[in-house]
Structures are given as structure tokens and as C-alpha cells.
Structure 1
Amino acid sequence: MLFSIVVAILLCLFALVCLCGSVGRITLPNNVLVSSVLAFGDSYVDQGNNNYINTTGKVNYHPYGEDFVGGIPTGRFSNGKTIPDFLAEALGVKEYVPPFLDPVISDKDLQTGVSFASGGSGLDPLTTEITTAIPMSVQVDLFKQYIERLRRNINEEAANNIITNSLVVLVVSTNDLLVSFPLRSSQYDALAYSNMLVKLVLNFIQEVYTLGVRRMVVFSAPPIGCLPEVRTVAGGPQRRCGDKENNLAQLYNTILEQQLQFWTTSFPQSGVTFFDYYNPLINIIENPKKYGFDVVDKGCCGTGKAEVLYLCNKLTPTCPDRSKYLFWDGLHITEKGYNIIVDQLIQDLMNSFF
């Protein structure tokens, strides 16, 4: 084990009825430093990079961000804070993680973490051809630019220390499984496609490891069949969770977890951990009252059945109480939902390598 397992976790309880809750800040062991949070992947961790590229996948308009500070639509795919924000706050790094492509990003923000993610991105190159998002290969190129900027702003040794002590978060696969796999079905069956995606994850890990990253959490696929938009398309008249889609996600997750365990065995000096994004969401969906939710099959925006991106706009009514909804739009989670997910993530990280 690269790091000692901590003796106690100091997590503050958040009120389930509160709209703008926050995970509690934890106390790390004395020998553990988290200098920054660096996010890669898709819309679940895009903090606004899509605002600065030529893509249709933008959410820099209301009602997105209506519960963010000042009600500002920052380009986050939610009503408020998202995974990188809650994670950085819990680790005592900072309150908000900005997008790397923000032209006025400060030197301090560079040193404490940014997001390279892009809404619509995926592992399969076909995915970003369709969605016009930033491919994973380009996100790695942006990371290289980030390292060079760090070295110019401070010095090489200090920059290397920041990278070594950073926590990298990779959240990707949803767009591949929902968008590209149906188009690849003549080339790949579910097993072959999942293996291909996992191989691309391992390639990504290898590349950022070569660049100095030593701690990474890799998210599994969520229960994509239970996303409101997918329920509407594939769930029949009752809008049930799509079994076919969820089975595909579970197959990918099984292979991913096995291969990450193999990676950790092969590179014991690295800290790479698998985070189960699937089952915590299923638990919320099956036991909504336990988590303070009333609605888990529809988004808060519009009818909640399909509205996402430009279909969710300033003319679209939103639900009166966002804290009662797990989903913000047809594909993305509310601030409160992300809060609960990161609470589980923190517990897993403490048991893994903090």
C-alpha cells in the first residue's frame, strides 16, 4: 500500500433537505499531501471547458448553474457544484475547480488543480467525432501544456511535486456506451467493445503516469439505463431503467475493475483505484427516501424526460425544489446528487490510499 490507511474520517453531516449542501472536509494523515485535483473525461467533470471550444455541447446559459454562486451558468452540467468541486473542498484544496481553458485562470488555480474534461467526450475516437468534444488524447496534450505552464510559473521541482501529490479523477465511458457502441455494433459485440474501452483507459493511465501522476481514481460507468433520457427512449411506456444499457455498463465495469487491479499489482508504486459509480446511484434510485429524494426517474428541467443541453434553457421551467431531484436534466445529476456521490468517493479513497 502506497499510503497509510487513516485512523478516522471526519466527515460533517449534510442535511438531505438542503439544496446547497457540502461534503465535510476530511483530515488526512500527516504523511499525505493532496496538492491539487485534476479532472479528465466528460460532462460529469467538465467545469466549463466547452465554453471555449467550437461545440454544440455548451451549457453556459440558464437554468444551468442557477444554484451556483451568484446563479452563474459556468458551463458545469448541473444546477450547481459538481464532482471536482466537492472533492477538492473535502480534501482541503479549494472550493471550486476551474476549467483549464479559462483564459483568465490564475497561477494559484493552476497550482491547486483544474479540469481538462469536455462534455461529450469519450474514449472511443468516434465519440468525439460525433459530439465535437475534446478527445481524451487532446486532454492529455492540454495536461502537458499545463505542466509546462507550472514549470514556467514556479520551477521544475515544485511543478513536479504538485503533479506527484495531485489526485487525478477520470470520469469517462457514458458517451461511448450510449452514442458510439450502437454505431459500432457491426464491428464489436458488447464484450469486445468493453475490452477496447478498458484498453484505452489503461493507455491513458500509462501516459499520465509517465508524466508524473501517481494517484488516480477511475470512475466506473454509471447505470446509463436509468438516466432519464434513456428511460424515455428505451424504458417502454413505464419508463423503466433500460436493462440492455445497464448490462452493458456492468460488463464494462467488471472488466475495468479487474484490469485496474492488475495495473496496481504491476505498478505498486502507483495509486490507482476503481470507484464504483454504478451501485451508489442504483442505491439512490431504489431507495430515494433514504437520501431525501422524491424524484429519481426524471430531471428537474422541463418535463424531466428528455431535456438536456439546449432543450433545457431559460424558457424551460424547472422543478420548485431541486433538493428533491436526483437528476438535473436528462443525463446529468443535481448538485445534491453529486454531493452524495463524492461523500461515498471520499470514504473509498480513505480506504484505498490516503
Structure 2
Amino acid sequence: MSLKLCLQHMLLVHLLFCFTQITTARVSAIIVFGDSSVDTGNNNQLQTMAKSNFEPYGRDFIGGKPTGRFCNGRLATDFISEAFGLPPIIPAYLDPTFTIQNFSTGVSFASAASGYDNVTADVLSVIPLWKQMEYFKDYRRKLIAFQGLTKGSKTLKNALYVMSLGTNDFLENYYTTPRRYRQQPVDQYENFLVGIAEKFIIKLYRFGARKIDLTGLPPMGCLPLERATNFFSASNCNEDYNFVANQFNIKLQNLVTKLNRQLLGLKLVYADVYTPFAKVVNDPISYGFDNGERGCCATGLFEMGYICNTRNPFTCIDANKYVFWDAFHPTERMYSIVADHLMKTSLGAFL
């Protein structure tokens, strides 16, 4: 590791250590499951094409460090952690440079390109949701060993558990591979995914989780990649995909209502990310953005991962003017807007 990278990592660890010592937040930790919207670097340790641990990713992150976040900077969960008085970054569980002390106030088990459906994770050989649960169980044992049974159990009970996934199940699996859409219509596939979400939440509850955030889908038909491949719509957005996202979100909301009634002491909330994304994408100028249709990286139409790299001369100078960083993922500034929206709505219940 170069001296520059060593110094950058030392700075990150120092920030985590300092916040670990002083936090008195009602939420003890942020524990994250999901896909690239919340993966803070777990895929760095995998043999997969779904990686972003290289420039220009991370160019606006602390120290200009590409961490494996599919963004120019921090993710919404990083901002949410900070808003709860916890460290300003959430480390990836598979990052060998962090310890259980760092993870005691926040950890991400998420894996870019993953989803509820195991088949989704298989597409690019990433970490399926069931494996993320296995990592959590390992983390749980280590945390109790580190903090002791009483304090460790309290940390786990008072932690906020964030689930953010589902987009890949539709865009990288159902609509692009024949395995699922030949088996069942999209409405049945939605029910299949909601069933997986329900079982996962119940399992978390049995492990002591009481504060859980279930994040809905964004208007996935308006992602730059979907716009670029949707030639027959005047708005460019794929409204069929947006309709599916809305329908799926309604089913997630119904699941939240159901489980709050069934599981004693559970505080499960639905996080609406569709609304802020739709508002900004439909009127980016009002939110200080110049562009809500293309990503900053390269042409902003098709590039993400390895195709978004420093050799491409078209990457924008100021990512703050763009809603999207690459053809699939938001910029740090957009993530901060989403985090602010959630803190003022669903997540405000935990303040």
C-alpha cells in the first residue's frame, strides 16, 4: 500500500475511533444489508465485475479515496449514520483494515449487484442476501465477545437495521435473463421478493433487531441507463419499470404494516426513496442540478463499474451538478438529499 493510501486509511480509522468514543445516540449502530446503493466496499474482496475501487469513483470522498462505493463520494447510509451522531462513514464488513471496534457503531454487509433473489446475486457472482445474513451472525458473535453479553446485546437491540435492495432483481435479473420472467409474471415475482423480505426481517427480529428500515425502490425507469435504452418514450423514462417500482413499493408498505402488528416491540419503517428521486429527476434545476438525465462519469448513458474509469475523457468536472454519478448510481449530493428526506420522514421515528 502506498504512503498516500496509508495516510488516507489512517484518517478514516481515526474518524471512526473518535466517533466510537463519544457517541451517545439513541441509535447505537447502523447495520446495513443490500446492494450497490449501500455497499461500502465488500465487493472489493470478491472475484466479480461489480467493482468500483478505482478512480474516478471516490474522487470526492475523504482523501479522494476510491473505497468501493459506487459514487463519487459518500452514500446515503453514511449521511444517515452521521445524522444519528455516529461516524460519518460506515465500513464494509469484508474490509480487512477495519476491526470489530470500528464495526461496533456501524457496518455494511451489502454487495453491489445483489438482490432479494439468489439468482440476482449469481448474475455477477456477488454476495446473496442469505450470505449477508451469515456475515451478520458472525459479526453478532464477534460484537458480543468484544463488548460483553450485556452491552453487546444492547447495541444490537438499539441498532438501526437498514435494508436497501430490489432494483437489481428487476433490471439485472427479471427483465434481462429468461430464468425468472418465463417462470412467472412480474406481479408474482414481486410477491416472491416480498416473501423473501418478510422472512429476512423475521430472522433479524429473532436475533434481537427492533429498529428496522425497509427501503423501497426508486423510479428505476428513469435511471440514465434505462433512459438511454428506451427509444420509444417521449419522456425517455421507462414508465413500465416505474409502474412496477410503485407496485412493489406498495407491497413493501403493506408488509411493514403487517409485521408491526405481528411482532411485539418491532419498529419497522418503510423508507420512501421514490418520491425524492422523482421530484429531483423531474425538476433538477429547482434542486440546483444542471442534469438529471445523464451520469457525470463518461457519457453518463451506459457506463458504470469498469467502463467508468479515468481513461474516459468525457467525465464531468463538477459532480454536484449531476443527479447521477454513473449510468446507474446517484452522486454524493443526491444521496445527501435522499438521506435528509429520510431523516425528516421515516427515520425521524428513531431520533
Q: Is the 8 A contact 2:270 2:346 kept in 1?
A: no
Question: Using the alignment, how far apart are the partners of 2:301 and 2:48 within structure 1?
Answer: 24
Does the 8 Å contact 2:32/2:162 carry over to 1?
A: yes
1:44/1:332 contact within 8 Å kept: yes
Q: Which residue of 1 aligns with 2:216?
A: 220
Partner of 2:332: 335
Q: Is 1:290 matched up with 2:286?
A: yes
The equivalences for 1:1-354 within 5 A come to 33-182=26-175, 183=178, 184-236=180-232, 240-317=236-313, 318-349=315-346, 351-354=348-351
**Change in 2 beyond 3 A, CA 1:235/1:88:** farther
Q: Separation in 2 of the partners of 1:223 and 1:206? A: 27
Aligned length: 324
Whole-Å Cα distance in 2 between the matches of residues 201 and 107 of structure 1?
27
Paired residue secondary structure (1:133): coil
Question: Relative contact order (alpha carbons < 8 A, sep ≥ 6): 1 or 2 greater?
Answer: 1
- 8 Å CA contact 1:232, 1:239 repeated in 2: no
Shift of 1:108: 2.5
In 2, the alpha carbon distance for the partners of 1:166 and 1:44 equals 20
AA paired with 1:320? Answer: I
CA distance in 1, matches of 2:232, 2:331: 25
The answer to whether the Cα contact below 8 Å between 1:235 and 1:241 also exists between their aligned partners in 2 is no
Contact 2:271 2:347 in 1 (8 A): no
For 1:78 and 1:351, how far apart are their aligned partners in 2?
A: 25
Question: Is residue 26–residue 350 contact of structure 2 (8 Å, CA) maintained in 1?
Answer: no
Question: After superposition, what is the alpha-carbon deviation per residue over 1:216-235, rounded to whole angstroms, capped at 9, x for unaligned?
Answer: 11110111100000111124
- Verify the 8 A CA contact 1:43 1:118 in the aligned structure 2: yes
Equivalent position SS for 2:90: coil
Please give the per-residue CA displacement for 1:222-250, whole angstroms capped at 9, x wherever unaligned. Answer: 11100000111124476710011111111
Unaligned runs of 5+ in 1: 1-30
**1:350 to partner: Cα distance:** 5.1
Hey, what's the Cα distance between the residues in 2 that align with 1:40 and 1:185?
A: 25
Give identity over the alignment, percent. Answer: 37
Give the secondary-structure state (helix, strand or coil) at the position aligned to 2:311. coil
Distance in 1 (alpha carbons) for counterparts of 2:197 and 2:331: 26
Amino acid at match of 1:342: A
Tell me, in whole angstroms, the C-alpha distance in 1 between the residues paired with 2:98 and 2:79. Answer: 19
Question: What does the per-residue CA deviation read over 1:256-296, in whole Å, with 9 as the maximum and x for residues that have no partner?
Answer: 11111111111241011001111110000112122111100
Which secondary structure state, in structure 2, belongs to the residue aligned with residue 338 of structure 1? helix
Aligned CA RMSD, in angstroms, stands at 1.5
Q: Which amino acid aligns with 2:322?
A: Y
Q: After the TM superposition, which of the residue ranges 150-159 and 328-337 deviates more from structure 2? A: 150-159
User: Hey, what's the Cα distance between the residues in 2 that align with 1:130 and 1:123?
Assistant: 13
For structure 2, the 5+ residue unaligned runs are 1-23
Q: Is the contact made by 1:65 and 1:76 (CA closer than 8 Å) also made in structure 2?
A: yes
Question: Aligned letter for 2:261?
Answer: T
Are the counterparts in 2 of residues 235 and 242 from structure 1 also a CA contact under 8 Å?
Answer: no
How many Å separate the matches in 1 of 2:97 and 2:59? Answer: 22
Measured at CA, do residues 294 and 269 of structure 1 come closer, stay the same or move farther in structure 2, by a change above 3 Å? same
* Per-residue deviation, residues 20-56 of structure 1 (Å, max 9, x unmatched): xxxxxxxxxxx97111111100000000000012211
Alignment partners' CA distance in 2, 1:313 and 1:344: 31
Work out whether residues 114 and 126 of structure 2, in 8 Å CA contact, stay in contact via their aligned partners in 1: yes
